[in-house]
Amino acid sequence: MKIIIASKNKGKLTEFQQLATGTKLEFIPIPEEKLEIPEESGSTFRENALIKAKFVSEYFSLPALADDSGLEVDALNGNPGIYSARYSSQKTDQANCEKLLENMRGLNKKERSARFRCCLLGYNQGKIVSSEGTLEGEIAVDFRGEKGFGYDPIFLLPKLGLHLAELDKDEKNKISHRSEAFKEINDKLHSLFN
């Protein structure tokens, strides 16, 4: 059962392929490297995932799976949310983290709650399946750890006393918002082929 991963991020493709080990699903890259995927112009993670999955699926006449994710900070009314990748003007991981730490300056531990959220959405001939996963934590006060990407160095997992960037890939995959969403959508994806 072939499904195109509607993302140009090779890391995501590999992550999904690892998660699908032992299932009947076969995740493949976008068949045409130069294909321009439309802008993420939706107002929710789900809308953005739908834009990507529908476009790629209709273009190649194959089922497609897209994800959209980001960081929601309670003290900032859910921001950066869908703007997580482009929070700072430089749009780099480092600058995004620095801007967030600056905006959280002076807030105490109780005011620093946050979560990563991931929406996964599969599309085929008008059929849609979707799922959501979250990873709860807190915005730390400094950078720690060298692994991962994005906001991982400033995302504290209070139960472990570790920042997400201190976890190995396998450890992160066990608890991440993406793997939680994937576990939920795994079975549903088969219905795209009926």
Give whichever of 68 and 166 is closer to ligand IMP, judged by the CB atom: 68
> In the annotation, is 142 catalytic?
no
Query: What's the min distance (Å) between Cβ of 193 and ligand IMP?
Result: 25
> Counting contacts by CB under 6 A, is residue 68 touching ligand IMP?
yes
The crossing angle, in degrees rounded to 10, of helices 10-19 and 177-185 is 50
> Counting contacts by CB under 6 A, is residue 70 touching ligand IMP?
yes
Q: Where are the alpha helices (DSSP H) in 113-168?
A: none
In the region spanning residues 146 to 175, those forming contacts with ligand IMP, defined by CB under 6 A, are: 148-152
Query: What's the min distance (Å) between Cβ of 82 and ligand IMP?
Result: 8
What spatial distance separates the first Cα and last Cα of the chain, rounded to whole Å? 11
> Counting contacts by CB under 6 A, is residue 16 touching ligand IMP?
no
Please choose, from the candidates 119, 4, 136, the residue with its C-alpha nearest in 3D space to the C-alpha of residue 62.
Answer: 4
DSSP run (H or E) holding 60: helix 45-60
Q: Which of 84, 124, 131, 179 binds ligand IMP (CB under 6 A)?
A: 84
Give whichever of 57 and 96 is closer to ligand IMP, judged by the CB atom: 96
Say whether 62 sits in a helix, a strand or coil.
Answer: coil
Preceding amide of 158 cis, omega within 30 = no
| Residues found near ligand IMP in the complex (CB under 6 A) | 67-71, 84-85, 96, 116, 148-152, 176
